[in-house]
Amino acid sequence: MIKKESIENLKNNLDIVDVISQFIEVKKSGANFKACCPFHGESTPSFVVSPAKQIYHCFGCGAGGDSIKFVMEYEKLSYPEAIEKLASMNNINLEYDNVNTKKQDIRVLEDVNKFYQRLFVNNQKAKEYILSRGISEFSIEKFEIGYAPASADTIKYLKSNHYNLPDAIDLGIIDTGANGLYSRFIERITFPIYGINGKMVGFGGRTITGHNAKYVNSPQTKVFNKSRLLYGYHLAKEFIYKKNELIVCEGYLDVIMLHQAGFNTAVATLGTALTKDHLPLIRRGEPKIILAYDGDKPGLAAAFKASVMLSQSEFEGGVVIFGEGIDPADMVKDGKTEELNNIFKTPIPFIPYAIDYIISKYEINNPSQKQKALIEANDYLQSLGVIYQDEYKRYIAQKLNIRENLVKVSNNSFERRDDANLSKIDIAELCIIKSILEKPSRLDAVLDIVDSSMFETHRNQFELLLNDIDNISLNAISLNEKLENYDDERLNKELLTLLYKFYTNKLTAISYDKNYEFREKVNMIRKIKDNIYQLRHGKLVSYNL
């Protein structure tokens, strides 16, 4: 069993925005972040994440909780499994009540990386290749470039240093086959890969001895998921936030050489195209995205797919295509840094690039082909927001040399989610509750003026607040941006209004209540009117009748 103190330590080191943004894409919205809820289908974001309160809540389906609850629900894990996954993601060691419980030693990755670095220094062939690509000694050290030896040498290193071999298998360093243990990386230049928290999670490797696969990555592990990682991000993220720019390349050497030339916002995907799983990561800081892809057929296709995805998600930025056979690393090596700088300043915006790519697939001098190009371009256009549709229908018409009215836009404007509950709630009551949730020290002062009986519509929520101010059911009120957080002066005024409304309703109810004698009614009405009179003059009164 995981020790309670260990769980508390983990919670104290978690940031809910960091945790959730590793699974879904979130966007800044005032003091909070918003997203489309991952737990039910929706097209308008109603999922709110609060960094101040370290909670999330969906106003559509009611899901809510903290970082641990999110991972439990999203990954379908038990509580202990979610704790262990979060600890693994953040490289935090857990302590167990059972001292015999084995704990995964993630440090073996870092130690093997140091072992590979030492071997690189003494491997002439590996070093010659790297230097021949223009990579400096400083960059070799900065990016911790190493060399993985023969399989037996890595196994020997692990055994002689008494590492836990099952840990090394779980972390993708070695594996077992028909002939026993073998290394995942054999006679390859190695590039350590880090997560967004700056902790090492795996390797990329390039062969220099003619293995079938030129590049390989670590296998999927508890800490390594190549679809959610970007090479070099741990070194680039500070500059991405400062410059509000992120350059996405296709390879490790491109990233290293761009950083060497001062383009320190460069990152690379890990042998796979940019996918939706990357969006939460590249959304961080809302940077302008520049796709720096090769001009060969796979590069053009990858740039198109990424442009469609990024434009549909309303990212800003564009595409830079390098001539076939030339890549960013080559340009840096050839001293074309200023030319690179100018290229990155003038990328082709995502939408025109995607439209051009679609139309380029067809022979538009042929009416039949032109019709197909129009249909495909139209389908893409209608997947965008209405403003973009209106703007780029002219572009499509010009490219195809057709009348603009032949380009159809969607009749559906941005969907608006009507909050049906707003017509059935008392805004003032909810704002009072929210104001207490924001500043719990107000509660005693509020109870000096009102009690739960004064809340006509939201008595249950107020009583819940009295019994458990941290109850998860109150998250919906706390995170509702339509509700105001009153300052102390405004809160007092709203409490007086609440009292006035209560006394007025009480007065009407007593007048028609047949259970009271006439004289009783007269006395109670006088008392209520006296309270109302005092309220009108701004005096706080006892509400007991």
Which residue in 442, 433, 501 sits closest to 462, CA to CA?
A: 433
- 149 belongs to a structural domain: yes
In a domain, 264, yes or no: yes
Among candidates 422, 424, 425, 388, which has minimal Cα distance to 407? 388
Same domain, 365 and 402: yes
User: Structurally, how many domains does the chain consist of?
Assistant: 5
Query: How many CA atoms lie within 13 Å of 11's alpha carbon, on the beta-carbon side?
Result: 14
Residue 143 tokens read as 């990016």
Whether the predicted pLDDT of 320 surpasses 90: yes
CB 92 within 8 A of CB 13: yes
Residues 346 and 251 in one domain: yes
Tokens of 449: 């003026």
pLDDT digits (tens, 9 = 90+) for 142-197: 999 999 999 999 999 999 999 989 999 999 999 998 889 999 999 999 999 998 87
Does one domain contain both 48 and 166? no
Answer with the residue of higher pLDDT: 505 or 534. 505
Tokens describing residue 250? 């296709």
- Per-residue pLDDT, 536: 52
Q: DSSP character for 48?
A: E
Residue 295 within any structural domain of the chain? yes
| Distance of alpha carbon 152 from alpha carbon 186, whole angstroms | 9
Q: Residue 292's pLDDT is what? A: 95
Q: Which of 374, 406, 438 is the last residue of a domain?
A: 406
- Give alpha helix (H) positions in 439-473: 443-447, 459-467
Q: 116 with 142, same domain? A: yes
Average pLDDT of span 451-480: 80
Looking only at the bridges linking them, the beta strands covering 348-349 and 317-322 are: antiparallel
**For 237-291, how does the pLDDT look when each residue is reduced to its tens digit (9 = 90+)?**
889 988 999 999 999 999 999 999 999 999 999 977 898 889 888 988 889 999 9
CATH number, domain containing residue 309: 3.40.1360.10
Dump pLDDT digits (tens) for 364-400.
999 999 999 999 999 899 888 888 999 999 999 999 9
Q: What is the pLDDT of residue 413?
A: 40
For the residues 187-209, what does the mean pLDDT come to? 91
The burial of 377, by beta-carbon neighbours within 10 Å (0-12 exposed, 13-18 middle, 19 or more buried), is given as: buried
Non-local (6+) Cβ contacts of 480 within 8 A are: 59, 430, 434
pLDDT at 495: 85
Supply the range of the domain harboring residue 245: 228-354
Q: How far apart are CA 90 and CA 87, in angstroms?
A: 5
Report whether pLDDT(423) > 50: no
Task: Supply the CATH number for residue 53's domain.
Answer: 3.90.580.10
Asked if the structure places residue 95 within a domain, the reply is no
- Per-chain mean pLDDT for the chain: 85
- Would you say residue 472 lies in a domain? yes
Residue 543 has pLDDT above 60, yes or no: no
218 plus 332 within the same structural domain: no
Q: What is the pLDDT of residue 100?
A: 53
Quick one: pLDDT at residue 422? 37
Residue 413 lies in a domain: no
pLDDT of residue 73 exceeding 80 = yes
pLDDT of 420 above 60: no
Same domain? For 279 and 315 the reply is: yes
